[in-house]
Amino acid sequence: MQNLDAAFSAMADPTRRAILARLATGEATVMELAKPFEMTQPAVSRHLKVLEGAGLILRRVEGTKRPCRLAPAAISEIDRWLDVLRQALAGNYDRLDDVLATMEPRDGKAAG
């Protein structure tokens, strides 16, 4: 996973979420993914590139095909970030400090 910007941004698109949901049921090639969407193959290819760039999927080479699957570690960074909000919403303000402390500090700005 490269960064949260890319991950959240990738998941903000309904087509890409649908692709991820499809991949949750198992590996699929580009054409297999393209079929259910009224969308051209190049468009799907680019969506896959975005998902791969965000670290959300992996691809293998299998002859002329490029089967995609979910990237195992992708969700954990998102979850780690969401924990901040979960803790706050749960009212667990004791634990919140711990959660915030585990977040990577960035250049001046708050935890991004």
Partner DNA sequence: TAGTTATATAACTATTTAGCTATATAACGA
Partner DNA sequence: TCGTTATATAGCTAAATAGTTATATAACTA
Residues that bind DNA (CB under 7 A): 9, 12-13, 15, 29-32, 38-43, 45-50, 59, 63-67
Least CB distance from residue 53 to a copy of itself, whole Å? 13
| Cross-strand bridge partners of residue 58 | 69
Query: Least separation, in Å, of the C-beta of 57 and DNA?
Result: 11
Residue span 16-55 as binding mask against a copy of itself, x where in contact by CB under 8 A, dash where not: -xx-xxxxxx----------xx------------------
Q: Which of 1, 15, 65, 77 binds a copy of itself (CB under 8 A)?
A: 15
Residues 51/20, Cβ–Cβ less than 8 Å:
yes
Say how far apart CA 62 and CA 68 lie, in whole Å.
11
Nearer residue to a copy of itself within complex by CB, 64 or 109: 109
Q: Does 11 bind a copy of itself (CB under 8 A)?
A: yes
Q: Measured between alpha carbons, how far is 10 from 105 in angstroms, rounded to an integer?
A: 23
Is the torsion defined by CA of 7, 103, 89, 72 positive or negative? positive
Nearest C-alpha neighbor of 34 from the set 65, 7, 63: 65
